Amino acid sequence: MSSLTKVALVQMKMDADPKKNLSKAIEKIKLAKKKGAQIICLPELFLTHYFCQEENHDNFAIAEKIPGKTTNTLCELAKKISVIIIVPLFEKKVSGLYHNSCVVIDEKGKIFGHYRKMHIPDDPQYYEKFYFTPGDLGFKSFNTKHGTIGTLICWDQWFPEAARLTALKGAEIIFYPTAIGWHLREKKEFGKSQLNAWLTIQRSHAIANGVFVVSVNRVGTEGEKNKSIEFWGNSIVFDPNGNIIAEGSNDKEEIIICNIDLSKVEKVRQHWPFLRDRRIDQYHGLLKNPSNE
């Protein structure tokens, strides 16, 4: 297997109509393949507007089974054009039990991996706890034809434990399908620092674990005028040294193509042996919540 892998980040603006979003995603996947992409990642919950801005029971009708209609369509596409696709979905496990999930479809059109978001936020206009049960599949990595990849989702992005455990599972590239943006009422005062924090935490995961980090966000403004979210794009790739090797704009739909040299993972880990110097015999406190003692 070559150490070189070409990935594509599909930065999209979502429509209210899932059919239009799926059609757009298919066209962008085809275009990314024409540009040489071997692994293509879509943004979090790409089929719809970010419905978690409100608590509305009607939105549960959006959820679908895995495998299901969308995965069947994209499995056919992956097989036809021979490409790996990371597909984030609102999953219906059974009635009353739903997950924020993603699947990895291999170049033969088979569902090769399945991940369910582990950390579920509950913030203003990010009411995900209303919809999603925390993941029950654990942290995962998948040994694909073009490298071993891990999949985490958005809020997972802020937790060093998630990145570390995914790297320990063997991941050389961690993909983060994402839906993050500014509350417009806060953007002027806090927008710059919020974006910088988001970029900083991803860079830190890449460095601390000696992996590539690939984050794929949406763009566009969604929601009611006085409570809308401006999704800030900035889809980005960090190498294991924390260098930015590809990045998108903050407001445009685009396909970001990036060449990744997986041999850098071993080289960086040899020079920055963070995994070697871990003190796993002293980390028991990580399994406890903070206390005043």
Task: Name the residues annotated as catalytic.
Answer: 44, 117, 154
State the Cα–Cα distance between residues 231 and 60, nearest whole angstrom. Answer: 23
Alpha helix ranges (H) inside the chain: 18-34, 69-81, 160-168, 184-209, 263-271
In the β-sheet with 97-105, what is the strand arrangement from edge to edge?
111-116, 97-105, 84-94, 39-41, 4-11, 254-261
State the Cα–Cα distance between residues 151 and 153, nearest whole angstrom. Answer: 7
Q: Which residue has the tokens 């569902």?
A: 111
62: nearest Cα among 117, 99, 27, 115:
99
State the Cα–Cα distance between residues 165 and 196, nearest whole angstrom. Answer: 24
Alpha helix ranges (H) inside 99-182: 160-168
Burial class (CB in 10 A: 0-12, 13-18, 19+), 80: exposed
Q: Which residue has the tokens 């794009």?
A: 233
State the Cα–Cα distance between residues 119 and 100, nearest whole angstrom. Answer: 10
